[in-house]
Amino acid sequence: MNIFADESLGLFHLQSKDTSYIIQLVEGYPAHVYWGARLRHDDSLAGALELRERASFSPTPVLTRPSLSLDALPQEYPQYGTSDFRRPAYQVQLADGTRISELKYAGYTITPGKPALEGLPAVYAENEAEAQTLELTLKDDYAGLTVRLLYTVFADHNAITRSVRFEHNGEAPLRLEQALSASVDFADSSYDTLHLSGAWARERHVQRRPLTPGAALSLESRRGSSSHQTNPFIALLRHGADEDQGDVYGFSLVYSGSFAATAEVEQFGQTRVSIGINPFDFSWLLEPGQSFQTPEAVLVYSGEGLGGMSRTYHRLYRTRLCRGVHRDQARPILVNNWEATYFDFDADKIATIAKAAGPLGIELFVLDDGWFGRRDKDNSSLGDWFEDRRKLPEGLADLADRVNKEGVQFGLWVEPEMVSPDSELYRKHPDWCLHAAGRRRTEGRNQLILDLSRPEVCDYLYETLSAVFFSAPIRYIKWDMNRNMTEIASAKASPERQKETAHRYMLGLYNLLERLTSRFPDILFESCSGGGGRFDPGILFYMPQTWTSDNTDAVERLAIQYGTSIVYPASSMGAHVSDVPNHQVDRITTLATRGDVAMSGNFGYELDLTKFTEAEKDLATRQIAQYKEIRTLVQQGDMYRLLSPFEGSGDTAWMFVSEDKTEAFVAYFRVLAIPNPPISRLTLKGLNPELDYVIETGAKGSNGHVHGGAEASAPADGVSSAPFQTAFDGTPLGGDRLMRIGLVVSDLRGDYASCTYRLRAVQR
């Protein structure tokens, strides 16, 4: 980790763990000249970085250098209006109505560590030795505008973070019309783009296609959240790059609101990638003396394909984005009552489910929607955060005590950002929701959105929720958000600031979450937005895990969890076993397969445990015991994707490897049975080739069977009390063989079949 600066050459060389990023000043414009594998820094570097100048059919802003046009110069933070006709990174409107700005270099600083971003989530460094930060200062003297480009490099991660701070030192107000977090110009367009897209209950499917001239890819959310439909992430992959090899460049935005990410190929074949707050329906009025901070973009380079990029994001986000006491702790195995009861429950029913949970080894019970106000359906009571004494006659404290007596902790669902028109809160404060005066208030799921851009609304939620959290021994909060924004306007905002409302909402939400998580550090917070509608790095800063999708079908979850893993670690993914036929797609899968899929995230159940048969209880007990043995591997290990559900037959496989490579967990899923199938052989990854590994297979119950050569060691009824059983007669296999020849997967019977393996290193 180093940042080298040579003002005489106008050169700035940023080195992270295995990555270099180089900026060169050209006539005062910061130009982007290199990003990729780490380069040695010496006097010969500048000579190797010559930029080709071509004016083309474009104006030339420097009279003494007629071959130079900004329309061809690769830039770090491009502007519009002074000869660059590509997408700008920012736009301003001055008091005279003009929209011309020209930022020129005015100095730099290098500081140890990484400064926090005011009011915004961001990756952090725990000490000054972990990171260095470069601040490039640019100025437009005519506008009185100072722009600071912030870059941080890390000692232990192949990541560079970027953000921008705008400072207005002029005499008249100016308006930011666009303020992106990062822009990078690549020298050519020999890339594929990769992004994650979908819909509610079908989130984060992997999409890949080659770049073409023009606006080759434009991703955005206009929904006021990062959304089910798109994710604030984009990557470029060299043609031929795959899971394990080739150059990959990732861009991930630490933000939970509307965003935009684009890849544009221009006339000379250069590619401009940019990401940040969506400029659609956004502007920000800067008065003299005021500043504006953009969200942070996390840029990751990998020379080891998509998997290498993903593991960098996983380690960084797991250890330097997520915070608090739960960051490094094992996440509890839970049961949630939503699909078991929906709104139809009382205290006795909940206590009965909790009583069934304890003997299975479940550690946490979560009471979902319907416990407050008069909430018998989804058409009332949001905002009225007090117990419904019809359902809970003795209140939350008594119910939590009853749950705790079963050896299970107590958690609670809330949806604080919403308000029902049929609620005491709305009748008292009808202007507290997002709305435009004189316009219809569009409802979604019978609810409106509270205006979190207003401090008094956030203060109400802080005090009301604090009272709830203090009222009982609550150890977990599921924080839901079940609609997108419409009529984005605030009753308290002046006309010239109405387009600030959506971003001010996010700042209000982040501030509220900061206050609550600081006041209740022992509560594990999980984010939810109709499942995965706000699965982004911004929310992980406050809540270290997210409900991955409302779709709990095991087969659908293969694609959803695989796609989510492109950026996000398994420790951030809530994954539950639900009932069959599945409530979203009506598919029937075995309890064994549902368990194997859910074990690749934060494991839990979302069904009525009191309806389990004895055989299902036995299997669930072993599933829970199995997960407790591999929990650290899944939640803190390195993930390697082996087979993609987006290719071929849909078969899926992945594995998790401990940091010291002495343990691994492998999961394989076959979607559709075929007659006389070929031998399935999994080529493993991430092991130590010099070590030998004993292989154990995950035990199945009576509705599954034992795989991997372990049949001979299983009891006659096919049921084992152990979570893992020795496979292949206990003969160790070398890591080199497992990664070159592969692991033979025994014949799986039926559709939607699965098997799991645990590997442990032994001395030769």
- Catalytic residue ranges: 480, 550
Cα angle value 430/414/315 (rounded, 5°): 125
DSSP state of 324: S
In degrees, to the nearest 5, what angle opens at C-alpha 693 toward C-alphas 687 and 695? Answer: 110
The DSSP string of 105-162 is EEEEEEEES-PPPTTS-----SSGGGEEEEEEEEEETTTTEEEEEEEEEESSSSEEEE
Sequential DSSP letters for 231-242: -SEEEEEETT--
Count, in order, helices (H) and strands (E) of the chain: 12, 39
Q: What is the rounded CA–CA span in Å between residue 58 and residue 155?
A: 41
What are residue 192's phi and psi, to 5 degrees? Answer: -100, 150
- Bridge partners of residue 86, in order along the sequence: none
Residue 89 and residue 274: Cα distance in Å, rounded?
Answer: 7
What does 463-477 look like in DSSP terms, one character per residue?
A: HHHHHHHHTTTEEEE
3-state secondary structure 399-454: HHHHHHCCCCEEEEEECCCEECCCCHHHHHCHHHECCCCCCCCCCECCEEEECCCC
Q: Which residues, listed in sequence order, are joined to residue 653 by a DSSP beta bridge?
A: 643, 668
Residue 538 contacts residue 223 (beta carbons within 8 Å): no
- How many residues are given for the chain? 764
In contact, 99 and 112? CB cutoff 8 Å: no
CA distance 261 to 249: 14
List 11's β-bridge partners, or say none. 6, 24
Q: CA 534 to CA 351: how far, in whole Å? A: 31
Instruction: Please list, in sequence order, all residues whose beta carbon lies within 8 angstroms of the beta carbon of residue 671, skipping any fewer than 6 positions away.
Output: 555, 558, 645, 649, 650, 651, 652, 751, 752
Angle between helices 614-636 and 591-598 (to 10 degrees): 20
At 527, the amino acid letter reads: S
Answer whether 416's CB lies under 8 Å from 423's CB: no
Tell which residue, 580, 607, 612, has the closest CA to residue 337: 607
Cα 534 from Cα 553, distance rounded (Å): 20
Burial label for 61, CB within 10 Å (0-12, 13-18, 19+), is: middle
**CA–CA dist 356, 352 (Å, integer):** 6
CA distances from 562 to 40, 255, 307, 573, 728 (A): 36, 22, 12, 11, 28
Q: What angle do CA 86, 91, 97 make, to 5 degrees?
A: 120
What DSSP string runs through 494-535? -GGGGGGHHHHHHHHHHHHHHHHHHH-TTSEEEE-BTTBTT-
Q: Tell me 398's DSSP state.
A: H
User: Closest Cα partner for 367 from 349, 394, 389?
Assistant: 349
Location of structure tokens 């591997």: 633
Question: Smallest Cα–Cα separation from 372: which of 329, 337, 424?
Answer: 424
Q: Could you give the dihedral angle defined by the CA atoms of residues 303, 306, 312 and 315, in that order, rounded to the nearest 10 degrees?
A: -150
